[in-house]
Amino acid sequence: MGRLSRPILGFLLLCCLIVAGEAEYLKYKDPKMPIGARIKDLMKRMTLEEKIGQMVQIERTVATPDVMKQYFIGSVLSGGGSVPGPKASAEAWVNLVNGIQKASLSTRLGIPMIYGIDAVHGHSNVYNATIFPHNVGLGVTRDPQLVKKIGEATALEVRATGIPYAFAPCIAVCRDPRWGRCYESYSEDHRIVQLMTEIIPGLQGELPANSKKGVPFVAPGNTKVAACAKHFVGDGGTTKGIDENNTVISMNGLLNIHMPAYYNAISKGVATVMVSYSSWNGKRMHINRDLVTGFLKNKMKFRGFVISDWQGIDRVTSPPHANYSSSVHAGVDAGIDMIMVPFNFTEFIDDLTYQVKNNIIPMSRINDAVQRILRVKFVMGLFEKPLADLSMANQLGSQEHRELAREAVRKSLVLLKNGKYSTAKPFLPLPKKAPKILIAGSHADNLGYQCGGWTITWQGLGGNDLTTGTTILNAVKNTVDPTTQVVYNENPDSNFVKSNKFSYAIVVVGEPPYAEMYGDSSNLTISEPGPSTINNVCGAVKCVVIVISGRPVVIQPYLEKIDALVAAWLPGTEGQGVVDNLFGDYGFTGKLARTWFKTVDQLPMNVGDPHYDPLFPFGFGITTKPAKN
């Protein structure tokens, strides 16, 4: 009897192990299962706490391992300028993101978090990344294939730092250049903005042919990122261009001007949509259920997730955070799925939990939000490959990407004037060989000014120590004949200019960096000492003026003195692209994607308006052929 017991015991043990093994099969972790089945399986395993945790996005500075584990946090972000350390390497970024991710993976269900960052003109928070021209310049190119390549390059650089989610593109239609975010908009014309949504397949990958409308898509592997179309909807149409203000327009106007690019974004499988701080006819978009749920989710069939803007729920009220629990209810009820809290997350979690437990917010709304968030995470392959490695690190600021950025700079320049009088001989291209030339202006040797806001920090920086790149001054020195003497004087007086017998001068002036409401401007002037530099230099020697700005600025008073005028917008790190065209290595091809006004009293003024009387009309731009060497 005793001798029989061992084999029987062994058999019983084997049976137990098989049963235990089968019990351990988790459908949601099986990549062979359809995504719908995986979502369903995971949802039925989740507690209310785990579901609400998925709806929360917090800033990385508060994303400790304990917080990630205790609250089941679904997403983490870097705000503008929030970095692992000064001039942090790709490795430092990967380690930061993986450290947070490991905490998420150690929770009961092991749901990976998704890390997001503003990569609005390249991977712009990160030292040594390629900084592409801001959207205001890219709209000028009217080249969707170029913008798609920029999306591809940006995705590679974002992935190089271990991050799988970018808060881009901004598809606002800026209708008033007084708005501080106008440079984030491709054009005043929705048709150009629609063309430029081609950046989305660049970032995410090409949507498969048989895809259902509205289903999010991110190509598998580690070369693509989830994109975010923002800010839904009407952010570029606020009264007097005041940031986060009220857009007063009929439903017809909203659908014809501000909505069309969202159709394109959704048809290209955009994974997420961010809601705007602004209001539409007095109602805050963050609590506009008719547009967020009724229109975006139900009518347009968007099946990715809707994310709030930074503290967007707090800012429903004035002052912010007044009657917070009411704002939480209104925002979640409106259809926002993921809430960018970003610091005060326990208050949000407590409020939302209370409201669900007391049937103020139905469980169906929570389930809708969580299903959408999980859908994006499954589509991205985050469950299969939650941790990043360093295999992509060499993509950050690669030469190939810098060459692409340089091409984008060349194509985004608009030549507004070429020759003092219409009958005069064209002033550009400039000769590379000249005895002595002058480079002047506050923006000639300032990489930070060239890049603008949303570069390394939220508001951007001045100077040349923020990241790596080429200033316009250095680009000129790289380009002219070795015998040409280049004299740099930031703000020379007229006596200096007259007494030095310069062959010609290049004057580079414009706006200082800014972002969001800090860029709102009622006067749109070139910052001092720009105007005096133009007067001192162009009054004494033949000159080309290059304007570095996030929008058209007041230029009419100086126009007569100027021989040639170039709108270079915010070109980014590759200043060589500006100089390529100046000296005729390439021709000017850019056409204005924004109307250039005479005076600010005319604003708002957009192409097609009855009072249209511009200094340079929409679509204007002098083209030139490359010079024969």
d(CA 348, CA 328): 7
| Count of residues in the chain | 629
| Exposure string for 41-79, b = 16+ CB within 10 A, e = fewer | ebeeebeeebbbbbbbbbbbeebeeebbbebbbbbbbbb
- What pLDDT score does 317 carry? 97
The distance in angstroms from the start CA to the end CA of the chain is: 102
516 flagged as catalytic: yes
The answer to whether the CB of 172 falls within 8 A of the CB of 623 is no
- What pLDDT score does 24 carry? 74
- What would the two tokens of residue 215 be? 């289903």
Residue whose structure tokens are 């996030």: 550
Cα dist from 608 to 176, 188, 193, 240, 614, whole Å: 14, 11, 17, 18, 11
Residue whose structure tokens are 């200094």: 615
The answer to whether the CB of 594 falls within 8 A of the CB of 187 is yes
Residue 250, helix vs strand vs coil: coil
d(CA 285, CA 281): 10
Please, which residues have CB within 8 angstroms of residue 302's CB and are 6 or more apart in sequence?
A: 214, 266, 273, 296
How large is the greatest C-alpha to C-alpha distance in the chain, in angstroms?
117
Residue whose structure tokens are 């539409």: 280
| Angle between helix 35-45 and 363-380 (nearest 10) | 130
- What pLDDT score does 77 carry? 98
- What pLDDT score does 146 carry? 99
pLDDT tens digits, one per residue of 368-392? 999 999 999 999 999 999 999 999 9
pLDDT at 5 over 80: no
Confidence of residue 1 (pLDDT cuts 50, 70, 90): very low
Confidence of residue 12 (pLDDT cuts 50, 70, 90): low
- What pLDDT score does 52 carry? 99
pLDDT at 11 over 60: no
pLDDT tens digits, one per residue of 166-200? 999 999 999 999 999 999 999 999 999 999 999 99
- What pLDDT score does 2 carry? 45
d(CA 149, CA 200): 10
Q: Which domains does the chain have, with CATH numbers?
A: 28-348+366-395 (3.20.20.300), 413-616 (3.40.50.1700)
- What are the phi and psi torsion angles at 310 (to 5°)? -50, 115
pLDDT at 6 over 80: no
The answer to whether the CB of 485 falls within 8 A of the CB of 433 is no
- What pLDDT score does 17 carry? 46
pLDDT at 203 over 70: yes
The answer to whether the CB of 165 falls within 8 A of the CB of 115 is yes
- What pLDDT score does 349 carry? 98
Confidence of residue 629 (pLDDT cuts 50, 70, 90): low
DSSP string, 319-371: STTTTHHHHHHHHHHHT--BEE--S-HHHHHHHHHHHHHTTSS-HHHHHHHHH
Residue 507, helix vs strand vs coil: strand
189, 309, 563, 574: the catalytic one is 309
The answer to whether the CB of 438 falls within 8 A of the CB of 506 is yes
- What pLDDT score does 628 carry? 78
pLDDT tens digits, one per residue of 553-605? 999 999 999 999 999 999 999 999 999 999 999 999 999 999 999 999 999 99
Residue 543, helix vs strand vs coil: strand
Segment 209-228 mean pLDDT:
96
pLDDT tens digits, one per residue of 514-531? 999 999 999 999 999 999
Q: What is the mean pLDDT of the chain?
A: 96
50, 235, 516, 520: the catalytic one is 516
pLDDT tens digits, one per residue of 320-341? 999 999 999 999 999 999 999 9
Please tell me whether the peptide bond between 169 and the residue prior to it is cis, using omega within 30 degrees of 0.
Answer: yes
d(CA 99, CA 345): 20
30 flagged as catalytic: no
Segment 219-228 mean pLDDT:
96
Segment 383-405 mean pLDDT:
98
286 by Cβ neighbours in 10 Å (0-12 / 13-18 / 19+) ranks as buried
- What pLDDT score does 509 carry? 98
